[in-house]
Structure 1
């Protein structure tokens, strides 16, 4: 017997309960040798659970809703009441655990992108649980250009996690003052995904920025007390992530859409969504994610 598919707008029906969503996936997972895919796929949920345990989120660790292993990551739902604690301290603890693992591991480094979202989703212990627009948007945020570009720009030795927070979570939890994560530690970005009809405003949080991110004014965890701490430290105004049609005055740069991360450490890194001209080194891009040097985002094999 086939499951009936309800027609939209035909009648009013109860709204599914709101569920918070957390998802991660690993950078450059598909570039690993095939023999490492299985072990790394098992390792990622273990590291996430270790972080939940250390962040004292025992309840969440044991009560995940519709959890799934995506191969290069995990996704699960949970009670939205725990969102403030997922944003902080959990994201910071996860970054610490990844750093500790990467320091002592002889295998591949595990660097993760994470997304946090919330919305109505079916949750009735049935086969269709967790499927809906909120789930789709969680994965779109995870694959969005800004979070990929930020992680590619950072040092693999210092920055192990980059998180993208949906606007709904940011407004309700961060701006609402319910979490210890201060708004000044989040960067507003237009989240877009190449080849997908998706565009939303979102917020990036990098627990341990490094290299070019530091030069661009992305602040470490301990430097978040004063709103102007980053610009005062650099001695100039900084606007590392811009909205469409915004201008970055530090290096005469115009960004049509996306995030531009500049600095003197390592190399310059620019991410562009639309047509962007970067005048600092007389280079021009038409679109896509661009990293000067040997790092790549996307391309053959979908290296991330």
Structure 2
């Protein structure tokens, strides 16, 4: 469809400044980005192996989930060294949330079992939806939704949950933007109920970024409701819904508060006493005056 006849045409060669004239939105696109845990912790000789292996594992996981076309039709694919990012038809987002994330968990579990003693790969995954240019140009795929996808991937909650979970059990932790969550999960299109997702404040150290987001862990382990990871408000809401840890510790993993023992008109000693003890009770009980001891 052509631009309206009254639209102002920019002078050739000049940048298109924001709000200078109205233009059509780029097409909406689903975006998936993944990042390997502790990539820089691996020896340099292993970096190339990991960078090559991640796209292969992604391809295999999409095929296992029955989503071959999502991988074959991906837009502006790009390796980030320690991860991978690409765009896809946003109508497939419900299937990317489920069953793909679970398929990725299974594929990584199998890979890590057979790579014992060599390279192990655990992934953070970020999912988002937004308008991004897709005209075939080499600079396609750049824009705020792409930036936010990477910020979510680097945010504190998703990193902390993967780090605090068992490497033998949890291979994937995903974070969804609120737009992705509302459009694909709350709408009912995704094959996972809202109860599988945890609301988190997504922030990135050293960056001016703070958004509401949603964690999803296909195979959880450890304590998801940790106030050091999710924040007090999220943990308190989880406790109110009956999701707190059992007796012996609170949701943060902290020990229970100190026990205070009380003895009216008597002594409670928690240690040795040197010298005498004197108690003067002035209370009257049953008509008898408690005297000096």
Kindly tell me: are residues 208 and 100 of structure 1, through their superposed partners in 2, closer, same or farther at Cα, counting changes over 3 Å? same
Aligned to 2:77: 67
Aligned to 2:115: 105
Alignment of 1:91 onto 2:79: no
Map 1:1-304 → 2, pairs under 5 A: 4-106=14-116, 107-213=118-224, 216=225, 245=233, 248=236, 280=255
Moved over 6 A (4+): 238-241, 261-265, 267-270
Root-mean-square deviation (CA), in Å? Answer: 2.9
What 5-or-longer segments of structure 1 have no aligned partner?
Answer: 217-237, 252-260, 271-277, 283-304
TM-score (norm 2): 0.75
More strand by share: 1
Q: What is the distance in 2 between the residues matched to 1:182 and 1:239?
A: 23
Residue 181 (structure 1) shift: 1.4
**Preserved CA contact (<8 Å) 1:24 1:113:** yes
**Preserved CA contact (<8 Å) 1:240 1:262:** no
Q: What is the distance in 2 between the residues matched to 1:250 and 1:179?
A: 22
Aligned to 2:286: none
Q: What is the count of residue pairs matched by the alignment?
A: 241
Residue 109 (structure 1) shift: 1.4
**Preserved CA contact (<8 Å) 1:151 1:161:** yes
Kindly tell me: are residues 243 and 33 of structure 1, through their superposed partners in 2, closer, same or farther at Cα, counting changes over 3 Å? closer
SS in 2 for 1:39: helix
Q: Which one has a bigger Cα radius of gyration?
A: 2
Aligned to 1:256: none
Q: What is the distance in 2 between the residues matched to 1:250 and 1:180?
A: 22
Q: What is the distance in 2 between the residues matched to 1:36 and 1:72?
A: 11
Q: What is the distance in 2 between the residues matched to 1:3 and 1:24?
A: 36
